[in-house]
Amino acid sequence: MDSPIALLGGRPWAVILPVFHLIRRILPQNVQLWLNQISCVLSISICASVIRIVPSGFPASGNGLWYTSPGTRWAKDLLPVGNGHLAAMLLGGTTQESIQLNIESLWSGGPFQDSTYNGGNNLRSQRIQLAEATQRIRQNIFSSPSGTIQNIAEIMTPAGAYGSYAGAGYILVTMDASGPVSEYTRWLDLDAAVQRTTWSQKGARFVRESFCSHPLQACVQFINTTTSTLPTLTYAYSVAPETGLPLPNVTCFDSSTLRVRNVIFKPGMLYEFLVRVEAPGGEVSCTANDDSSPNNATLTVIGASEAWVTWFGDTDYDMAAGDFTSNFSFQGPDPHNNLIDLMSSMHASTDSYTAVLNAHISDYTSLMDRFSISLGQTPDFKLPTDQIVASYQSHIGNPYLEWLLFNYGRYLLVSSARGTLPANLQGKWADAQVNAWGSDYHSNVNIQMNYWLAEMTNLDVTNSLFNYFENTWVPRGRYTAEVLYNVSHGWVTHNEMNIFGHTGMKLLGNSAQWANYPESNAWMMIHVWDHLDYTNDVQWWRRQGWPLLKGAASFHLEKLVEDLYFNDSTLVTVPCNSPEQTPITFGCAHSQQLIWQLFNAVEKGFVAAGDSDIEFLDAVRTSRERMDMGLRIGRWGQLQEWKVDIDQPTDTHRHLSHLIGLYPGYAITSYSPSLQGGLIVDGTFMNYTKEQILKAAEISLIHRGNGTGPDADAGWEKVWRAAAWAQLGNGTEFYKELTYAIERNFAQNLFSLYTYGSTIFQIDANLGYPAAVLNALIQAPDVASTDIPLEVTLLPALPPSWQSGSVRGARIRGGITLDLSWKYGRLDMAKFTVDRDVAGRVRDVNVNYARRVVGRFRSNPGTVKNIRI
């Protein structure tokens, strides 16, 4: 028998050190640093790699990111804070701090830049000509031997002044101090949504604290020191490091407030910041450098014991002015007066920094703390986050980092979605004047993925998303439906969406693969439907959800046509292609599955809507009976991507378009032969079993590769694949793909990067990640009809690395909260609690674990169902 010491490799410090680390964690920082030197003497390996330990004040849960030097690279090092309306990226500087600013609506383009901007649409007078062109396109597709064509450019339109989301400059903070900096750390506290930087300089210790407060509608940065007064501080505004923004007017609003006025282009959208500094015990003055052109005022703080700057900002954009009544001007009032009101309400309601900080933390935690997760992680208090990321290896994994990324996804969504506009391709964090893909709202997976986690992790943040549809998608989307599609009911959008109602089909070369996507509205309606299904908020449904859904369904109802290629009398979309992938053909699996789900949602939500339009409901039911289901098994056993069997086994495309019904949809996952079978295509009776359909989906998924291939290496594709593998109950492949995404696509600041090593931040993988993780732990996919029981599966794809863990406060369909825990890889307990008010939407629920039913209940209000294995 080996002694415990021998078991641990014969190193006595292997026993001593964990105890040692435990003790020193609770000691003051200077003692900790000193003890750290001792541990170096005890263990060479630790000495070499771990000189530093977590900063004091770092969350005891380990729920944070920390670093030992200031950041330099925007996309990889800087740390984000935001309240949805404003956002900022922080370097964590010392004597020089630069705060990169964002205002959610600051966009170039649109009617602000071009008064003739019309959302990339055709003229009304072109309607007949377009309808005829579409007829020809359809005929060409149906009469082509392959059922495909190359080009639909004739019905597409140039994007016009599409614009881009833009950075809003910088606040520069300069401290009149010199001398070497030591004991530097910066971190982001995910329990409190506060970023901190601390360092020592000339015998004094400094603390800088930054956050964006939702209650205050402002961002704040605080600084103090251990000596009696801070060195002199100056606060200035700059656009210098940023290419393109015109020079701003920076004037003294009063002796402690800067007023920044600028436009993004000339002509272009106007923006303003009020930047106010408070300095207890000291003096703040504003110097207007009248001789510089344009005016560049600065604030100076002398003799203060602490100082804090608060900035308020807005533009003259108004989402509610994006309809016919407002001539799609999106023009709002000058933001100045509103900013003054906000600033004075701050002074009226709160006077101390601590009060502002506490109000922020309690607002943030009240939203976040409804849900929590554990993956059995052991927090690492020795290695800074950049080193944890650098040493991360796929397959092997590290539950601590995997857990952090989950929490970070929720942090990023809460910090970017609670504005007027929803989270865009970069949340709300972007530095350049023109950002990758305009940092827009790509609607063929990206914006959808941003919101996958929202309902399930009980985040009440979807308001801006639905308002954005209602205000910017629907009004001009009606026009596009009429003029481009000759469809008189409902509304349509395509893939690339800005904040100015860009509903047209964007022409850019032969760009059907990017733009021919009139199913973006159908995919987004999953989120609208889910909001009702998770919350049972019938009032919201009647006011906003149902009108959105009905409009999207009306459009597709009218647009489906009979298949004149196979002449099987089914209804299909034509022309269509998979998102970002040609050929241009008909009956694309992706479109058909989505429209089928959309039609089901009409039926399922009809009663709750209180709508009396029975004719509409009947028409939807009739078309649903007749439509092609987008589920066909092809010549190499794959689930066909198109109705014609032309898939290539070597196609490793980014998107899993035809697997939409596997995840996040349910047309594959909850496949029902009686509802979706029975079609005759090309003389063949389609009567697949569920097993056959799932097998075909698996074959397609395998052939799609791991998310690295030609023009394919994004984080979101790997996260999507991980979720799809989890859906198939394959924990091994799930974990491989998830950990591969982390290894390949996540930077030191845990931002997801577009491709390996790139400097393009794209937030979708960050936000899709928690949903993929949850899909391995809890599944409760939607079903075609409310009469079909909800099938909940617990731990369907638990990877061996997460031996024990728990989830508290997860939400599933039906207004049900689910807590569960597992130990040694096996379910320990699950508890279902149905809301007290389910608005009459009661349903049957079956609970499955390890391939058997372990519980059943009916979701009557207040029902509690405990399951123990």
The span from the CA of 445 to the CA of 426, in Å, is 14
Tell me how far, at minimum, the Cβ of 110 lies from ligand NAG, in Å.
Answer: 10
Residue 829 identity (one-letter amino acid): M
Tell me how far, at minimum, the Cβ of 486 lies from ligand NAG, in Å.
Answer: 4
Whose CA is closest to 743, among 715, 771, 778, 779?
715
User: Candidates 239-247, 606-614, 824-832, 835-843 — which segment interacts with ligand NAG by CB under 6 A?
Assistant: 239-247
User: How do 233-238 and 298-302 pair as beta strands?
Assistant: antiparallel
Long-range pairs of 836-840 with CB within 8 A, sequence gap ≥ 24: 836/861, 836/862, 837/536, 837/861, 838/536, 838/814, 839/536, 839/537, 839/538, 839/608
Whose CA is closest to 751, among 361, 209, 389, 384?
389
Binds ligand NAG (CB under 6 A): choice among 687, 759, 785, 860: 687
* Binding flag, residue 131, ligand NAG (CB under 6 A): yes
User: Candidates 19-27, 259-267, 462-470, 534-542 — which segment interacts with ligand NAG by CB under 6 A?
Assistant: 259-267
The span from the CA of 278 to the CA of 275, in Å, is 10
User: Candidates 91-99, 240-248, 762-770, 812-820 — which segment interacts with ligand NAG by CB under 6 A?
Assistant: 240-248
Tell me how far, at minimum, the Cβ of 143 lies from ligand NAG, in Å.
Answer: 7
Long-range pairs of 865-868 with CB within 8 A, sequence gap ≥ 24: 865/831, 865/832, 866/829, 866/830, 866/831, 866/832, 867/794, 867/827, 867/829, 867/830, 867/831, 867/832, 868/828, 868/829
Binds ligand NAG (CB under 6 A): choice among 77, 104, 189, 209: 209
Tell me how far, at minimum, the Cβ of 290 lies from ligand NAG, in Å.
Answer: 11
User: Candidates 256-264, 449-457, 549-557, 640-648 — which segment interacts with ligand NAG by CB under 6 A?
Assistant: 256-264
User: Candidates 67-75, 291-299, 498-506, 543-551 — which segment interacts with ligand NAG by CB under 6 A?
Assistant: 291-299
* Torsion angle of the four alpha carbons 691, 693, 699, 705, in this order, in degrees rounded to the nearest 10: -120
Site residues for ligand NAG, 566-595, by CB under 6 A, read 567
Residue with Cβ nearer ligand NAG (207 or 619): 207
Q: Bridge partners of 327?
A: none
The tokens of 715 are what? 């984080």
The span from the CA of 439 to the CA of 493, in Å, is 18
Binds ligand NAG (CB under 6 A): choice among 140, 692, 708, 821: 708
Residue with Cβ nearer ligand NAG (236 or 413): 236
Binds ligand NAG (CB under 6 A): choice among 36, 43, 113, 118: 118
Q: Which residues contact 396 (CB under 8 A, 6 or more apart)?
A: 739
Site residues for ligand NAG, 727-756, by CB under 6 A, read 730, 732-733, 740
Residue with Cβ nearer ligand NAG (364 or 523): 364
Distances (CA, A) of 387 to 36, 356, 383, 748, 751: 17, 34, 6, 8, 15
Binds ligand NAG (CB under 6 A): choice among 3, 45, 72, 116: 116
Q: Which residues contact 366 (CB under 8 A, 6 or more apart)?
A: none
Q: Which residues contact 606 (CB under 8 A, 6 or more apart)?
A: 617
The tokens of 752 are what? 């997801």
Residue with Cβ nearer ligand NAG (505 or 532): 505
Tell me how far, at minimum, the Cβ of 226 lies from ligand NAG, in Å.
Answer: 5
Tell me how far, at minimum, the Cβ of 707 lies from ligand NAG, in Å.
Answer: 7
Tell me how far, at minimum, the Cβ of 524 lies from ligand NAG, in Å.
Answer: 25
The span from the CA of 768 to the CA of 763, in Å, is 9
Residue 267: asked if its preceding bond is cis (omega within 30°), the reply is yes
Site residues for ligand NAG, 475-494, by CB under 6 A, read 486, 488
The span from the CA of 323 to the CA of 772, in Å, is 37
User: Candidates 99-107, 449-457, 706-714, 820-828 — which segment interacts with ligand NAG by CB under 6 A?
Assistant: 706-714
Tell me how far, at minimum, the Cβ of 507 lies from ligand NAG, in Å.
Answer: 18
Please say whether the beta carbons of 260 and 307 come within 8 A.
no
Site residues for ligand NAG, 24-43, by CB under 6 A, read none
Signed CA dihedral, 147, 149, 155, 159: sign only: positive
* Binding flag, residue 619, ligand NAG (CB under 6 A): no
Residue with Cβ nearer ligand NAG (514 or 746): 746
Separation of first and last alpha carbons in the chain: 36
Residue with Cβ nearer ligand NAG (258 or 465): 258
Binds ligand NAG (CB under 6 A): choice among 96, 135, 243, 378: 135
Q: Which residues contact 190 (CB under 8 A, 6 or more apart)?
A: 59, 63, 64, 65, 404, 407, 408, 411
Binds ligand NAG (CB under 6 A): choice among 11, 56, 61, 261: 261
User: Candidates 1-9, 242-250, 360-368, 570-578 — which segment interacts with ligand NAG by CB under 6 A?
Assistant: 242-250
Site residues for ligand NAG, 547-566, by CB under 6 A, read 564
Residue with Cβ nearer ligand NAG (296 or 597): 296
Residue with Cβ nearer ligand NAG (212 or 236): 236
Signed CA dihedral, 456, 369, 820, 763: sign only: positive
Binds ligand NAG (CB under 6 A): choice among 374, 394, 510, 821: 394
Please say whether the beta carbons of 287 and 300 come within 8 A.
yes
Binds ligand NAG (CB under 6 A): choice among 172, 304, 383, 820: 172
Residue with Cβ nearer ligand NAG (238 or 848): 238
* Binding flag, residue 248, ligand NAG (CB under 6 A): yes
* Binding flag, residue 512, ligand NAG (CB under 6 A): no
Distances (CA, A) of 715 to 437, 699, 759: 16, 22, 13
Tell me how far, at minimum, the Cβ of 316 lies from ligand NAG, in Å.
Answer: 10
Tell me how far, at minimum, the Cβ of 313 lies from ligand NAG, in Å.
Answer: 13
Distances (CA, A) of 181 to 35, 202, 406, 441: 21, 8, 33, 42
DSSP-derived secondary structure for 121-181: ---GGGHHHHHHHHHHHHHHHHHSTTS-BS--GGG-EE--S---B----EEEEEE---S-E
- Phi, psi dihedrals of residue 428, rounded to the nearest 5°: -135, 15
User: Candidates 128-136, 375-383, 428-436, 584-592 — which segment interacts with ligand NAG by CB under 6 A?
Assistant: 128-136
* Binding flag, residue 247, ligand NAG (CB under 6 A): yes
Residues that bind ligand NAG (CB under 6 A): 116, 118, 131-132, 135, 172, 207, 209, 224, 226, 236-240, 247-249, 261-263, 270, 294, 296, 298, 327-328, 394, 486, 488, 564, 567, 685, 687, 702, 705-706, 708-709, 730, 732-733, 740
